[in-house]
Amino acid sequence: MPVSRPGTSRILIVAGSDSGGGAGIQADIRTITMLGGHPMTAITAITAQNTLGVQAVHPVPAAMVVEQMRSCLDDIGADAVKIGMIGSADTAQRVADLLEPLASAGLPIVFDPVMIATSGSVLADPATIAAFARLMRAATLITPNAPELAALTGRQVETESDALIAGRDLARSTGAAVLAKGGHLSPASAGQVGAPTGEPRDLVADHLILLDGTDLAWTDPRIESHNTHGTGCTLASAVAEGLGRGLPLPDAIARARRFVRIALREAPGLGAGHGPMGHHRVRLDCDLGGATPNQVTLPASDHAASVAFYQALGLNMIVESDGRYARFESAGGTTLSIEAADEVEGRPIIFLEVADLDAAVASARAHGIAVSDPRAESWGWREARLNDPAGNRLCLYVAGENRRFPPWRIG
């Protein structure tokens, strides 16, 4: 199989087309492109759909689906495969025929067992669902939501505990890792307090069940939005892109979840129903390797004058704190802060975001660079401070959503 250019992951997507652009192949392409990969497609079905529902489905013949896959694999190759809407039982079997040898050779495969659209429209009949078995056994990771997990295991899945039990059943029966998504479940807790308002926030937990029976969990505040069309497609594609570029599975999932959450927050609000997410607005938020300069803090002697100045330049203020600190966001995704001069020693600070702060600090020290120990800050970042040879102040940090979307973001 051909080898890709370093830094460019080749992701083969096997899924249906969404004419409304919110889910399916369209969401997959947008996700993989924004994360720095090269998307290729084998379209399994053409759908007429929008934010209100699916009006018509036209399956692509199984032979044509396989020919699309072979065309990509034989010439360009693939570093990972993402499977979504499969179209028919025959297509599932034919796709499994092609992928099983590649899976045995170590090609990562992420299978999103699409059965029902966000609008409630059925996208897989019982025969097709039954044919999922071979695809699940070939998969590296299966990403069911609660209704899909219930359909695949025959168990009732209404709580987080139910999802864990069903997820373990599915992992045992398929030999694949399972990411049991919690978005359809009742809140894991209503007790987390979001600073600075003190208001309780519902939590959503996703569990990764590994083949040894252990599980890892990610828990975050629920993002209230009706613009959720394509969340499952987006998550699975983002995980596949991460695996394709060589990330360990937990790291690929953490990065994919961050992408989905920011795309949810950036949804453009299109359509009258379940609208699409804002994939195109996820910029400089999901690390592609190395350190990313995406934030600077400047000293301000006159807070009000500086706020007016940067707003006049077209920056959007997203944080304001006690007349001593403010943060602004640019259209390209970078952020700029102003802080009272006495609190930043009167000098700018350049922030470089890294994927693994502890590893970045260790690497810097191995090169003889003096850097402080990493510490967690009250504003939701982990940071380590250092100076360059000219004495300029730098900060290595990890912020995730909290750089652009802290709980106290304005608006």
Catalytic residue annotation: 181, 228, 230-233
3 state SS of 301: coil
3 state SS of 11: strand
Give 382's strand partners: 376, 398
CA 245 to chain centre: 14
* DSSP secondary structure letters along 82-114: EE-----HHHHHHHHHHHHHHHHTT--EEE---
Give 292's strand partners: 353
Q: How far apart are CA 79 and CA 239, in angstroms?
A: 12
CA distances to 228, 264, 281 from 260, rounded to whole Å, are: 10, 6, 11
* DSSP secondary structure letters along 115-156: -B-TTS-B---HHHHHTHHHHHHH-SEE---HHHHHHHH---
The pairs formed by 185-190 with CB atoms below 8 angstroms and a separation of 24 or more are 185/146, 185/157, 185/158, 185/159, 185/160, 186/158, 186/159, 187/222, 188/160, 188/219
3 state SS of 398: strand
Q: How far apart are CA 206 and CA 218, in angstroms?
A: 5
* DSSP secondary structure letters along 213-229: S-EEEEEEE----S--B
Token digits for 410? 């304005």
